[in-house]
Amino acid sequence: MPPSLLVAASQFQFSSCLRRKLGRLLVPLVLAASPGMAAVTGNLYDLGNGNSAVVSPVNAQWVTFTAMEDGTVTEAQINNSTAPTGSPTLEVGLYAVDALGVPTGSALSSGTVTASATGWQTTALNYSLVKGTVYALRVSTTTVGASFPWRLNFASATNNVQPSGAVDTHWMRGFNNGAPSNGSQNVWILKTGTNQAIGQPYTVASNQNLGSNTLTIGERFRFDLPSTGENLLTSVSLKLNVSATPPANPLTIKLLDKNGLVLTTGSIDLSTAAAGVAYFNVGLAAAQELTAGEFYYLALYSNGSVSNSVAWSYASTTNDPLYQSATYQGVDAYAVSWGSQTNYSTAPSTDLSRDYFFQLNLDAVPEPSTWALVGLGLIAWMGMVRNQRFQKRK
């Protein structure tokens, strides 16, 4: 019997017994629902290659997109592959577009950022997008003699791996006042007040082999409380690539706090797993309540030599449901590795160029009243059992 039906049957049987024994007094027994795939966290994209589009005083760059939902943009993130020249002050603005998709009029919202190194450049914005409307994100500079290399991915056609998973004819880029082009998409992210995002991640998929029985690989992430309010972590789903010769030894996963303290653990045996890429659910020894906005680590290692028999997938693949519903976090989340399987207090090596695929499976934390009902139900049940035994002795 499926777990959901088993829960329903247990509740019905228990309530029926109480109705017969206690008349109209019903004491519900509340059982925890099986963990669901309720929330996704961690940014699941690679940062692209070394190609870039130059932003300079004579060359503004922009990208267009269609808002798939209503939402207030709070932040723009753009990424550069190489160091800027002359520390340019960048003007980053959100614009309406004309019939051709070219930015037009004054900025709907704008901000500035001074870029002096490689990586993500972030500026605050504040504008409410309207579903179905086309907008442009435009980057320019007036800093004389300076330039900014805005990182590209080299898509040859309109990229259909947007967070919505739908083809957008206005998912394009351009420069100055020229007509937009489908190719060579810029890497950028627009964050909204609900921690969702619109953006152009890179789309190459790859894997990280565990490699040895001394290495631990992992992911730093921030917990974004889902709209359902569920924050009790019961299991984790990992996207793993198993070779034709699966690992003989089980894998261990650990949830760590931001300081490397182990909060809970889980284990999975892949010795009979089929070869190929798939999601594997890892149950946790103890459920862990997560705090919204707090940072955590997931650590993964093998309990013996695994060679290249299993790898944790990173970046993104076409039509992957985790990718399409992910929360993008820029430099907040990234791949990490430790040289130990027991000591996580030392700062891990970081890799900002990738993030591993994973999903947090959440339940709601029971309210105190729920536990009180459970306790009351158990007391009533124990009383019923004692009464039955007493009747039998009579």
The answer on 349 and 217 residing in a single domain is: yes
Residue 343 near residue 327, CB atoms below 8 Å: no
d(CA 293, CA 295): 7
The pLDDT tens digits of the residues spanning 271-296 come to 899 988 888 999 999 999 999 888 89
Global pTM reads: 0.54
What's the CA dihedral at 87, 91, 92, 93 to 10 degrees? 180
**pLDDT (mean) for 12-34:** 27
The answer on 223 and 325 residing in a single domain is: yes
The answer on 218 and 195 residing in a single domain is: no
Report if residue 325 sits inside a domain: yes
d(CA 310, CA 302): 9
Report if residue 6 sits inside a domain: no
pLDDT at 383: 66
> How many CB atoms are closer than 10 A to CB 370?
14
The answer on 141 and 70 residing in a single domain is: yes
Report if residue 193 sits inside a domain: yes
Domain count, the chain: 2
d(CA 162, CA 298): 26
Residue 172 near residue 63, CB atoms below 8 Å: yes
The pLDDT tens digits of the residues spanning 356-391 come to 778 888 899 887 655 555 566 667 666 665 666 555
Report if residue 31 sits inside a domain: no
Q: Whole domain around residue 324: which residue ranges?
A: 205-363
The pLDDT tens digits of the residues spanning 87-138 come to 999 999 999 999 888 999 999 999 999 999 988 899 999 999 998 899 999 9
Read out DSSP for 114-165? E--SSEEEEEEEEEEE-TT-EEEEEEEE--TT-BEEEEB---SS-----TT-
In sequence order, what are the beta bridge partners of 277? 241
Report if residue 274 sits inside a domain: yes
How wide is the angle at C-alpha 271 spanned by C-alphas 270 and 277, nearest 5°?
Answer: 45
